[in-house]
Amino acid sequence: MALKEQITEDMKSAMRAKDSVRLGTIRLLLSACKQREVDERIVLDDAAVIAILDKLIKQRKDSITAYTQAARMDLADVESAELLVLQAYLPQRLSSDEVAAVVKTLAEALATELGRKPGPGEMGKLMAAAKAQLAGKAEMGQVSAAVKAALN
- Delimit the domains of the chain by residue range: 3-87, 96-151
Q: What percent of the chain has pLDDT over 90?
A: 64
Q: Which of 6-15, 42-51, 123-132, 133-142 has the lowest mean pLDDT?
A: 133-142
Instruction: Report the pLDDT value the prediction gives residue 138, as an integer from 0 to 100.
Output: 86
- Name residues whose C-beta falls within 8 Å of residue 32's C-beta, 6 or more positions apart in sequence: 52, 55, 56
Angle, alpha carbons 140-142-145 (nearest 5°): 110
Which CATH superfamily groups domain 3-87?
A: Uncharacterised protein YqeY/AIM41, N-terminal domain (1.10.1510.10)
Model pTM score: 0.79
Q: What are the counts of helices (DSSP H) followed by strands (DSSP E) for the chain?
A: 7, 0
